[in-house]
Amino acid sequence: MSQKERNEIADSGWKLQKVTDNDILFTFDCGDQDLNEYFQKDALLHKEALITQTYYLKATEELDLPVALIDLCNDSIRLKKLSQIPDLPENKRYPFLPAVKITRLGVSLPFQSLGVGSHLINMVKRLFITRNRTGCRFLTVDAYNNDDQKAIKFYQKNGFQHFSDKDKNKKTRAMFFDLKRISKT
C-alpha cells in the first residue's frame, strides 16, 4: 500500500483524502466565518507545527473541490472516564487509551443537510479501523454546546456519547465514539 493509499478512503463515489494542495482550503465555504477562517489560516499553521492534519471529502475525481473538510489530531482518553465501556484492558497497564480527535469539521454550503457530514464521519471511522497505523480505539470531539445543540445532536446521531454530564452547561461537550463497536477484529 502506498503512502497516498494509507491517507485516503473511497466509498460510493466519494473520496476522503489528506489535503496536499493547500490552495483548495481557500475555495471552501461552510457559511461559518470562524470555521472558514480556521481552515484557511489556522489549519496550515497547525499542520506545520505537526498538531493536526486536514482531510477533504470530494465527490468525483474530476472535481477536486472540497465538499467537506475535517481536521484530526491525536488524543487519548483516561481509562477511568470509560467505566461504562466493556472489553477494556486492565487499568494498571493502560491508564490512557488511544484516540483521534476531530478538531474541526465543516460541510460546504451547497452540500449541507444532505447527509454529507454523516457520510464523512463514517468514512473517518472506517479509515481508522482499516488503515490504522497504531492503536486507535476511539474518536473524540468537543462539540459546540450552543442553544440549538445542533452539533451535539449531529454527533449523537452518528453514535457519539457524552463522557459525563459535568460539562452540560459549558461551551463545548466532550464526546466519544468507540471504534470497537464497528471493528471486525
Question: How many other C-beta atoms lie within 10 A of the C-beta of residue 19?
Answer: 21
Residue 124 has pLDDT above 60, yes or no: yes
174 Cβ partners below 8 Å, 6+ apart?
140, 141, 142, 162, 163, 167
Which residues form the domain of 38? 3-181
Share of the chain above pLDDT 70, in %: 85
Helix count and strand count (H, E) for the chain:
5, 8
Q: Which three cell numbers stand for residue 129?
A: 479501523
What are 79-92's pLDDT values in tens digits? 777 766 666 666 55
What are 64-118's pLDDT values in tens digits? 689 999 999 999 998 777 766 666 666 556 778 899 999 999 999 999 999 999 9
56 has which bridge partners? Answer: 17, 69
86 Cβ partners below 8 Å, 6+ apart?
none
Helices (H), the chain: 3-6, 33-37, 43-48, 116-130, 150-157
Q: Domain of 159: which CATH number?
A: 3.40.630.30
Stated pTM of the model: 0.88
Number of folded domains that form the chain: 1
